[in-house]
Structure 1
Amino acid sequence: MADCVFCEIVSGRSAARLVLDEPEAVAFLDVRPLIKGHVLLVPREHHETLTDVPPEKLGPLFTLAQRLAGAVQRGLEAGGTFVAMNNKISQSVPHLHVHVVPRNPKDGLKGFFWPRHRYDSAEEMAGYAERIRAEL
């Protein structure tokens, strides 16, 4: 897609520090990492969000995410990883990407960076669940 920085990286027209190059996706170091070793996994095909990806492409993509999480943890001797994805909100590049971030105790990241909101009642919670179920 024109003007997509990740499509430019996938095609080789823009440089990136690749860590994985597979038929389904590529992964490279984030140039603005949360923690050094922060990797971005992007599908080769341009899809803006998770809901845009054809279902048959998800298994291979998340198999690669699983492999990357293990490689980041082992390769950087990290205690674990944080694996996340934004869809539109907080998505700085409109090309689906999975963040794989090495984690260690006291690394400076503090959970989620937004407030929690409790349901007012069990009924309200049930209503939210029903609205989501209805869309499935």
Structure 2
Amino acid sequence: MPSIDDYYPISCPFCKIAEAYPPEPSTPIPASPDPEKVDPQCHLLLSTPHVMAFLDILPIAPGHILVTTRQHYEKLSDLFPPTTADDWATRRTAAQARDSAKAIGEWLPVVSRALCKVTGIEDWNVVQNNGERAAQVVPHIHFHLIPRYQEGRRENAGKGKVDVGMLKSWRMFGRGAREDLDEEEGAEMAGLLREAMREEVEGEKKAKL
């Protein structure tokens, strides 16, 4: 029988978030999640059985979002484990991985549309790193959604020290290009993003009717 650590490795910060914020059966977008359930704070945007989204605590730009799998997978290739074994546990693990991959694909466009609506951006990066040499810091699959603000639209990220040119450039990752997320600004941004995501989900439901 698998233990809780099989699903949420204790050393993984994203697994700690997954354990602290279980999926709500009534809605994938939590109403007002407590950001202090984990340390550092987590400004949660999305919580489903397979996928989560929250603000990056070291944003490259205001609105920098991480979309990740709830279950622990280290690299993108882990989402499709071998299915040759006949035992039930292996088949179940493979099915969970496929469900996680499908859910990531379904939610990335929704979160992207909400991000554009809230920030007013027209361009953004979706970045996914695999392994230390590829700049993966947390060994748990996650996608970065990084807003790219038009020149003059927004010159700084908040109250902290900022690389003055970082929001005007197309720089990806690098030392000195990130700052700690301001907690008040994070809470405000998260609330706006959750509302925009609810609107997107409701719009999709109506379109299917």
Same structural fold, with TM-score higher than 0.5 when normalized by the shorter chain: yes
Runs of 4+ deviating beyond 3 Å: 111-114
CA displacement, residues 84-107 of structure 1 (integer Å, 9 cap, x when unaligned) = 100002001000000011122233
Aligned to 2:5: none
Instruction: Report what 1:109 is aligned to.
Output: 169
For structure 1, which segment, 88-97 or 104-113, has the greater mean C-alpha deviation from structure 2 after superposition? 104-113
By percentage of residues, which structure has more strand?
Answer: 1
Partner of 1:85: 128
Question: Taking structure 2 as the reference length, what is the TM-score of the superposition?
Answer: 0.50
Once the two structures are superposed, residues 56-99 of structure 1 have per-residue CA deviations (whole angstroms, 9 ceiling, x without a partner) of: 23121121111111110111111222111000020010000000
* 1:120-135 mapped onto 2 (5 Å cutoff): none
| Consecutive unaligned residues in structure 2, runs of 5 or more | 1-8, 21-36, 81-96, 152-166, 175-209
> What percent identity do the matched residue pairs reach?
29
Query: What is the TM-score of this pair, normalised by structure 1?
Result: 0.75
Question: Residue 10 of structure 1 aligns to a residue in which SS?
Answer: helix
Give the AA of the match of 2:113: G
Contact 2:122 2:148 in 1 (8 A): yes
Q: 2:126, 2:137 → 1: CA distance?
A: 16
* Distance in structure 2 (CA, Å) of the matches to 1:32 and 1:76: 17
Q: 1:94 aligns with which of 121, 139, 144?
A: 139
**Which of the pair is proportionally richer in helix?**
2
Label 1:50 to 1:9 Cα distance change in 2 as closer, same or farther (>3 A): same
**2:33 corresponds to 1:33:** no
- The equivalent residue for 1:6 is 14
Cα deviation, residue 28, structure 1: 0.5
Matched residue SS, 1:66? helix
Structure 1 unmatched runs, 5+: 115-136
Equivalent residues of 1:16, 1:28 under 8 A apart:
yes
SS at match of 2:146: strand
Q: RMSD over aligned Cα, in angstroms? A: 1.9
Aligned pair count?
114
